[in-house]
Amino acid sequence: MINENNNILIVVDPGHGGWDNGASWEGRLEKDDNLRLGLAVREQLMAQSIPVLMTRDTDVYVTLADRAGVANAAGANLFVSLHRNSYPEQTPTAMGVENYIYLTAPEETTGRAAQLVLDSVVDVGVQADRGVSRGDYYVLRKTVMPAMLLEMGFIINEIDNQLFDEHLLDYAAAIVKGIMQYFDPSTGEASSETLPQCWCPVCPDPAVMQAQILLNYRFGLSMPVTGIFDGATARAAITALQIALNSDWGNELNMDGILCPLTLEAFDRTFAGGHGPIALVLQLTLMLNGYMPGTPDGIFGMRTQQAMQNFQQNNNLATGSGICRDTLLRLFGH
């Protein structure tokens, strides 16, 4: 796993998404603000060569169980859930930022991380510093690593919204600054200095890392999370395809990670437009190959189709709505 290489992995969790708008105010939706900030935090972390896993990077619904489960399966070192605050009515005190940790979270680790991140955000400029509080939120209760739920101002407060918009990138940089302070070498924890300084072919790729984590989590696999599309990863992806073909279409394939004729014959080449575990395997395998199908949600929609067509074109394969045998072979590293 990642931690065995003395690296760190941060999970960024933009709250809500899809049909779950979160809080709202005069047409402004919390889910959109959370995603905007989350993507900015990801960019800042990657600029520091810090591996990062997003629970969502588009406007899709992700269950609370999956948010915590993916982080746990990844062996993440820190979980940062991003939200906007709200209240049934405007009051003089309904403003400012605050950070939550779980009821029984240790102060020396989780509490310290939450305080460092909050202090860094406050330094950028906020209406009020509401401090670090304890709460019984699902993603805080179910994650096994230090976790925080950061409320970035009240969505019902005009000045909080103005500050959020004007300082979005500054807030993202501040969150990353607080994270890096938490992983300072003097604490005895991993630091950014121990992380790879590039994403070359022999260094971890964040998209490959995310695909490996999700393949392990969704299909009960245990491949090493290296960020490199190697032979072990290819075998794991083929095993996931065999599991999906058995569950979706009632096949009885050996789940051996070998792309044998029986596995190839079991695949319906006209799959594009479908949804379910098979679509998810294809999305994750596209990510392994460096093609981004959007958030891996098991829906073979327009973005996934475009990513597949780009992969086919770049590998001199037949394009179209179908996925031929040659495409499968190349996609899974053959």
Domain boundaries, the chain: 2-194, 206-331
Arithmetic mean of pLDDT over the chain: 88
Give me the phi and psi of 53, to 5 degrees please: -120, 125
Q: How confident is the model at residue 21 (pLDDT cuts 50, 70, 90)?
A: very high
For residue 299, pLDDT over 90 is answered with no
pLDDT score, position 51:
84
Whether the Cβ atoms of residue 57 and residue 82 lie closer than 8 Å to each other: no
* The length of the chain, given as a count of residues: 334
For residue 273, pLDDT over 70 is answered with no
Q: How confident is the model at residue 17 (pLDDT cuts 50, 70, 90)?
A: very high
Task: Find where tokens 């981004």 sit.
Answer: 292
pLDDT score, position 248:
80
For residue 198, pLDDT over 50 is answered with no
CA distances from 127 to 8, 92, 156 (A): 32, 11, 13
Catalytically annotated residue among 30, 98, 108, 151: 151
pLDDT score, position 321:
58
Comparing 133 with 303, the larger pLDDT belongs to 133
pLDDT score, position 101:
98
pLDDT score, position 301:
86
Q: How confident is the model at residue 165 (pLDDT cuts 50, 70, 90)?
A: very high
Comparing 304 with 193, the larger pLDDT belongs to 304
pLDDT score, position 188:
34
Over residues 281-288, the mean pLDDT reads 95
Comparing 193 with 268, the larger pLDDT belongs to 268
Q: Residue 106, exposed/middle/buried by CB under 10 A (0-12, 13-18, 19+)? A: exposed
Give the C-alpha separation, 331 to 315, whole Å. Answer: 10
Helix axes of 231-249 and 277-288: crossing angle, nearest 10 degrees: 160
Comparing 304 with 150, the larger pLDDT belongs to 150
For residue 296, pLDDT over 50 is answered with yes
pLDDT score, position 270:
53
Q: Is 89 one of the annotated active-site residues of the chain?
A: no
Percentage of residues in the chain with pLDDT exceeding 70? Answer: 90
From 3.40.50.970, 2.60.15.10, 3.40.630.40, 3.40.50.720, which CATH number describes the 2-194 domain? Answer: 3.40.630.40
Determine the number of helices (DSSP H) and then strands (DSSP E) in the chain: 12, 8
- Exposure pattern of 202-235 as b/e (b: 16+ CB <10 Å)? eebbbbbbbbbbbbbbbbebebbbbbbbbeebbb
For residue 276, pLDDT over 70 is answered with yes
CA distances from 229 to 127, 286, 301 (A): 46, 11, 24
For residue 197, pLDDT over 50 is answered with no
pTM comes to: 0.75
pLDDT score, position 203:
61
